[in-house]
Structure 1
Amino acid sequence: MVDEKKTINLDVAEIDKLFEEYRKTKDINLRNELVNRHLYIAEIVAKKFINRGIEYDDLYQVACMALINAVERFEPNKGYKFTSFATPTIMGEIKRYFRDRASLIRLPRRIYETSAKIKLATEILSAKLKQPPKIEEIAQYIGITPEEVLEVMEASNNYLPQSLDQTMYEDEEMTLGDVLGKSDENLVQIENTETVKKAIDKLSPLEREFVQKRFFEEKTQREIADEMKVSQMYISRLEKKVLKKLKDLIDETKAPI
């Protein structure tokens, strides 16, 4: 029993060691082991996007491919945990997948670039003016005529299907990263972190303690069971319950008004 506990306590250090070894050898077996140990991250992130028109199996496949990419790119000597690196990476890849599927017809380059400028200008002016900007204000900010703004907005709407996650003027959670050509992983991470924090705050004290140990301290189910003086089966059931509860809470937060 003592030897088993020592092994458990070394899990985090062991993972770091595996990453260091993989960086040196690029051994496919090491990569597969690292991916298998972190598949739960792909599952959690993929489930956040269900009921948005794409099957969960497809989302999970995209998340797993992003997880593999995260394993290959992760540098343990940077001083942060792999979970903190992998989560925004997977999130960004799934959002790109949604964006690519939404682009049924590719916009002309001029329309596409101007549309991106309009969306960015709208975000900046909305924050500055505390209200949706007028067409004339957007045109002046970008340096084009109001007629050109209207032309590009109309063209964009004709080429792209409308989405509840894609808004131009409504004052709600920002989704600019979902429609721009390049995803800002820092913004994705902030959005994800704030959403999860709000959901965690609604958990019971016991559930919050479990989340802290399992996903922030990266402890195993057996280690948590030993600390909480319960069976590993209880912890396993608790994890399923907490993940489902978090998913429901996050879905409520993300639900369109």
Structure 2
Amino acid sequence: MQLYTEKEVRSKEKVYKDISDPIVDSLIIEIQSGDASLFPDLLERSEVLLRKATYRRFIKGYERDDLYQEACLILVEAVEKYEPDRGMSFNQYVCLCLDNHFNRLIRKSNAIKRKSFKESLSLESILEENGYQLAGPAKTLQPEDKPIVNETMEEYIKYLSSFEKDVCLYCFLGHSYEKIAEDLGCTREKVMNAKHRCTEKYRKHFM
């Protein structure tokens, strides 16, 4: 068991900035009571918080103004759902909502990237293992997309058997089921079943 001095303990404690705003909290109470005319005041008071929430995020397909509009929509939803008796200030609550929302957008963006490679299944690592080289980059593959493709495929091939990897590679190279069966010394039906399992595993783990 490792012991720390009181000074060391204080140095390890993370300090959080108090973002609560009594004026905002009072505005929320009045707005929730039916005074919708105060919402522009709330928006003006919350602008700095919303700008900070969008400034440090970069999501493909979203411009800075788009992210700010998303943040404003979350603010509206937060006003409706906020419960003051939960022991959290409104600013704390809306920051939590913003984090959750933008994290969902990021996951969605990554899922779309992965799905865009569903048919081609860029098996770059498998190709290299088998001594093949790509004739050229895939049309849909952009330089900024390569890391997520590699990450996805490294994870994907872990779920495939040795035979399934071979079938997936041959399919990627454009060979027919008959040709694959001939090269691998098996039946066409076995190849088709393996290809089906490859597709189902991709859908299960990455879609």
TM-score of the two chains, using structure 1 as the length reference: 0.36
Bigger CA radius of gyration = 2
TM-score of the two chains, using structure 2 as the length reference: 0.43
